[in-house]
């Protein structure tokens, strides 16, 4: 079982896992340093797609030795994305990493049916982290892809997160579906968005009981404090398998998910392993604000997922 995201790269390396990662538009100094770190830690061979001259110039400025890497020349963002996906589709590479391109542009091409990387599920963003003050891994989802998922999409978001938790060694993760209010009939509900969040959470809980969300326990609606704090759950007399000890936090929409993600990142300096899953290959989509440690552990998580077959 993986307990600390900060040690994920070391554990992946120790297990002998290594994958070939292709970087779409690698002409970016931070991206090149991340590629160097992943290769040096022995978890990935890197293929850099982009303008050769630009990659070479930036590598020289950043002090990155390009000798270990394969460089595939491509001019322009669209060409970089198409070439990267072609390499994965043909089996030369296994994992896609975003370089200096927009996440939306990269994901749009990955989801193009003609590329053969789509599955029956939607794609969703996973942010895996070690809970502050604890020795266990949690996930916040979705903080970066699905803007306002409906009930069906939320079910897929949970299934994607459960697959990742299984790969991390958590056999039956506890899933908290978040909302502001714990009951859909509460007189405190004054906004249709809040009502939808609570109703979706209740329905997802029922779907899990019916066996339509296997491999986990789902409970909701739960406010964030009641999902992660045993003290808060006890004070409010909320008793369940999930309350106070959730492994997966499911946000109602991207506003909620991204706010929690960024708060942990900025205030608690949490190291995230962040990937997009649900396609046939996991996708590393680092933010420019991510720390070097988060970028490295994100690659490590995709390598782990490929090794465990969790990239649906």
| Res 258 pLDDT > 60 | yes
> What token pair was written down for 113?
């049916």
pTM: 0.94
**Separation of alpha carbons 282 and 292, rounded Å:** 19
List pLDDT tens digits, range 273-284: 999 999 999 999
| Cα Rg, the chain, nearest whole Å | 20
DSSP run (H or E) holding 211: none
Among residues 186, 181, 231, which one has the least CA distance to residue 201?
181
List pLDDT tens digits, range 81-138: 999 999 999 999 999 999 999 999 999 999 999 999 999 999 999 999 998 888 999 9
List pLDDT tens digits, range 209-241: 999 999 999 999 999 999 999 999 999 899 899
The size of the chain, in residues, is: 312
- For the structural domain made of 5-173+247-308, what CATH number should be given? 3.40.718.10
Among residues 207, 205, 215, 211, which one has the least CA distance to residue 240?
205
Our measurement of the distance from residue 238's CA atom to the centroid of its chain's CA atoms, rounded to an integer in Å, reads 29
| Res 311 pLDDT > 60 | no
């Amino acid at each position: 079982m993986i307990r600390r995201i900060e040690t994920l790269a070391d554990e992946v390396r120790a297990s002998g896992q290594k994958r070939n990662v292709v970087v779409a538009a690698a002409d970016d100094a931070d991206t090149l340093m991340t590629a160097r770190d992943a290769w040096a830690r022995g978890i990935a061979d890197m293929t850099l797609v982009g303008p050769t001259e630009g990659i070479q110039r930036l590598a020289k400025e950043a002090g990155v030795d390009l000798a270990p890497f394969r460089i595939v020349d491509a001019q322009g963002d669209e060409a970089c994305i198409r070439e990267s996906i072609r390499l994965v589709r043909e089996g030369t590479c296994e994992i896609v990493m975003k370089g200096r391109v927009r996440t939306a542009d990269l994901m749009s091409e990955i989801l193009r049916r003609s590329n053969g990387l789509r599955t029956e599920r939607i794609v969703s963003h996973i942010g895996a982290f070690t809970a502050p003050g604890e020795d266990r891994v949690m996930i916040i989802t979705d903080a970066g892809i699905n803007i306002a998922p409906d009930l069906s999409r939320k079910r897929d978001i949970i299934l994607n997160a459960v697959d990742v938790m299984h790969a991390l060694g958590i056999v039956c993760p506890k899933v908290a579906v978040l909302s502001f209010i714990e009951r859909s009939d509460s007189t405190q509900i004054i906004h249709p968005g809040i009502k939808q969040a609570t109703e979706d959470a209740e329905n997802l809980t029922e779907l899990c009981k019916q066996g339509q969300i296997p491999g986990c326990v789902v409970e909701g609606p739960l406010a964030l404090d009641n999902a992660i704090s045993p003290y808060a759950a006890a004070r409010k007399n909320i008793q369940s398998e999930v309350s106070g000890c959730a492994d997966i936090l499911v946000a109602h929409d991207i506003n909620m998910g991204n706010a929690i993600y960024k708060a942990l990142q900025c205030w608690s300096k949490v190291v995230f392993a962040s990937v997009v899953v649900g396609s046939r290959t996991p996708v590393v989509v680092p933010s420019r604000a991510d720390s070097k440690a988060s970028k490295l552990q994100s690659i490590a998580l995709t390598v782990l997922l490929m090794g465990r077959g969790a990239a649906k």
